[in-house]
A and B are shown apart, each in its own frame.
Chain A
Amino acid sequence: MPDENELRKLNIDETIYETEVPSSFDKRWAPQDKMLVNAFIPGTIIEIKTSVGAKVREGDILLLLDAMKMYNEITAPVAGTVEVVAVSAGERVEKNQLLVRLK
């Protein structure tokens, strides 16, 4: 199997080392945006239970997602107003796809 060979700089505890660094290392962690409701699993949208402009409380059901032979209730992670409903009933969604945006 071929090896990566290029040496890059890597900072560990303020010492900078020259070493191989895999590309997966470049992904940086980012805090979760609670206003974005994404699909936690791929599946099919069964029913939209909210609409743009609706005021929701934390825990209100936004839509039903059919995945792994289960209807999953997708709820609002925080209170807010529905700004965007990005999917419609019957639509197939990928993991992490945006479903609803709150403001």
Chain B
Amino acid sequence: MSIKHSVNEFLSKVQNLFKGGGDVALEKQKKRGKLNARERVNEILDSDSFLETDLFVEHSSTDFGMDRKKLAGDGVVTGYGKIDNRPVAIFAQDFTVAGGSLGKAHAAKIVKVMDGAGTKKIPLIGINDSGGARIQEGVDSLYGYGEIFLRNTTFSGVIPQLSLILGPCAGGAVYSPALTDFVFVVEKISNMFITGPQVIKTVLGEDVSPEVLGGAKTHTTITGNAHFYAQTEQEAFEQIKRLLSFLPANCLEAPPVHQSSSPMKKITDNIIPDNRRKAYDVINVIHGLVDNSDFMQVHEHYAKNIVVGFARMNGKSVGVVANQPRYLAGVLDVNASDKASRFIRFCDCFGIPLLTLVDTPGYLPGVDQEHAGVIRHGAKLLYSYSEATVPKVTIIMRKAYGGAYIAMCSRHLGASSVIAWPTAEIAVMGAEGAANIVFRKEIAASDNPETTRQKMIQEYEEKFANPYVAASKGYVDILTEPHKTRDIVIKAFEFAGEQDHGNSFRRHGNIPL
């Protein structure tokens, strides 16, 4: 056989494999408004940077006629490439090949690229588009899922792991994305559920569409299973690139440093309303603090009473956590605690300093919240802030009451610096509630209880609804006007070091879950 013949044979094999599930299946994928696996990989990665591995892998299954079936790449595209010239590992399930079903060889390819990411200490991007387990392969496909889950977990906190859901992701398959750091979903394309609408209909008689049960909106607004919502696949790819720009490649590396730039919008001293009962959008404050007013929200549509996301200050990445007075007055509740805790722990894993903006009336009262376990969930916030060893700078803008004051990265939970504005109110509770308790007897004994009550509220406000009592005890380190805050925060981060809790002998703590 001539060399030319060998090369041609090789090229025709590659050409065949690149066709995935064949022209008909590719056309079908396109009609669904979806790119195919290889297109997706190339769209995400810097052009011509993709190095594909294991293209020639085949399954060795023989049952149910599988011995006669050849599956291109066994239904998954794997390899390495670059994003903004930084290396990443990537896999993309190919729905056109046997519905992207996961068999042993398919899983082995994913596992290999995961191990590659772990060894090279580079981020892992997984694109999920699969009907689920390859039933013909039986327990071998379950073995495959288990091997993936194990690596998702052992690499957690070592390398950033991102999951894109670009098709169905059902049954056990959902747990790999759920174990990763960030999940991206796309309108009308992503579907995630443990049991699909068909099974729910058969077993329970409940009629529900895939979109309502586990579509992109459901997972970004109701369940919180997904962190980023996009209208199109392209938008999701841009989100991935933007997110990675804030993150280090692994837990040993520092996040990339960018050129420092001033915010587009400045903070004026009246950035927040003087009436503490009035709402405002905390996003405006964040925009006024961070470089170029560039703030990337995580979980933007979920538990909107707290805002979390990535930004830069003086060119360096920070994780921002802020109460949102615009929504539910910025109360802490079960979902807000979960959302913030997960984010704080991510930042702490990857050495990203935390900037906390406080304006909250406290924890949300009510039977629903108590029964939903607000004690256990709220405790996560205390735990994750206390546990975090990254530099932590806190700005108290307005209300910081009671347990919520402590929880929102107070000095007492190990904040590196606590900064307060003159409008800050650091107290056990709001003036109305406090006056009713402290002056109950005076109010009851008065000829005109309502007038007395108002007088007592005013008295309490004047005495305690300010930052000076806390500052006099050293619970607040720095007082400043809003317009000077950015410069002070940058300095505070500069002088704050990594903390050492002196318990490295510990296996791990036991976060309340």
Using a CB–CB cutoff of 8 Å, the interface residues on chain A facing chain B are 1, 3, 7, 10, 12-22, 25, 27, 29, 41-43, 67-69, 92, 94-95
Contact = CB atoms under 8 A, between A and B. Distances in A.
A19 B368 CA distance: 20
B215 interface: no
B111 to A, nearest CB: 34
Interface string B347-374: 0000000000000011011111001000
Interface residues of B, number: 36
Nearest to A69: B203
B430 interface: yes
Given A14-B430, A19-B330, A29-B367, 5 more contacts: A15-B430, A17-B325, A19-B279, A27-B368, A68-B203
Contact of A15 (B204, B217, B431): B431
A94 B205 contact: yes
B366 A21 contact: no
Contact of B436 (A3, A14, A19, A69): A14
B65 interface: no
A20 B430 contact: no
A3 B229 CA distance: 14
B326 A20 contact: yes
Contact of A25 (B217, B328, B330, B401): B328
A7 B329 CA distance: 10
B230 to A, nearest CB: 11
B432 A14 contact: yes
B328 A20 contact: yes
B204 A17 contact: no
Contacts of B68: none
A42 B201 CA distance: 10
A68 B368 CA distance: 28
A43 B203 CA distance: 8
A20 B432 contact: no
Closest 8 CB pairs of A and B: A29-B367, A17-B329, A13-B433, A15-B430, A14-B432, A12-B361, A19-B329, A14-B433
Interface in B148-163: none
Nearest to B204: A42
Most B Cβ at <10 Å: residue of A19, A29, A92, A95: A19
B383 interface: no
Contacts of B136: none
B204 A12 contact: no
Nearest to A42: B204
B147 interface: no
Nearest to B327: A20
B329 A10 contact: yes
Which residue, of B204, B329, B429, has the highest number of chain A Cβ atoms within 10 A?
B329
B277 A18 contact: yes
Interface string B375-403: 00000000000000000000000000100
Contacts of A68: 203-204
B204 A41 contact: yes
B508 interface: no
Given A1-B217, A29-B368, A68-B203, A12 B327 contact: no
B328 to A, nearest CB: 6
Contact of A42 (B205, B325, B331, B365): B205
A19 B328 CA distance: 6
B205 A12 contact: no
A19 B304 CA distance: 12
13 contacts: A10-B329, A12-B361, A14-B436, A15-B277, A18-B277, A19-B279, A19-B327, A20-B326, A20-B328, A21-B328, A22-B328, A68-B204, A95-B206
B436 A16 contact: no
Contacts of B361: 12-13, 15, 17
Nearest to B402: A13
A12 B301 CA distance: 23
B31 interface: no
B221 interface: yes
Contacts of A15: 276-277, 361, 430-433
Contacts of A18: 277-279
Given A1-B229, A14-B433, A68-B203, A19 B325 contact: yes
A11 to B, nearest CB: 9
Interface string B198-226: 00000111100000000001001100000
Most buried by B among A3, A18, A25, A69: A18
Contacts of B326: 19-20
B284 to A, nearest CB: 15
Contacts of B325: 17, 19
Contact of B362 (A10, A12, A27, A94): A12
Contacts of B401: 13
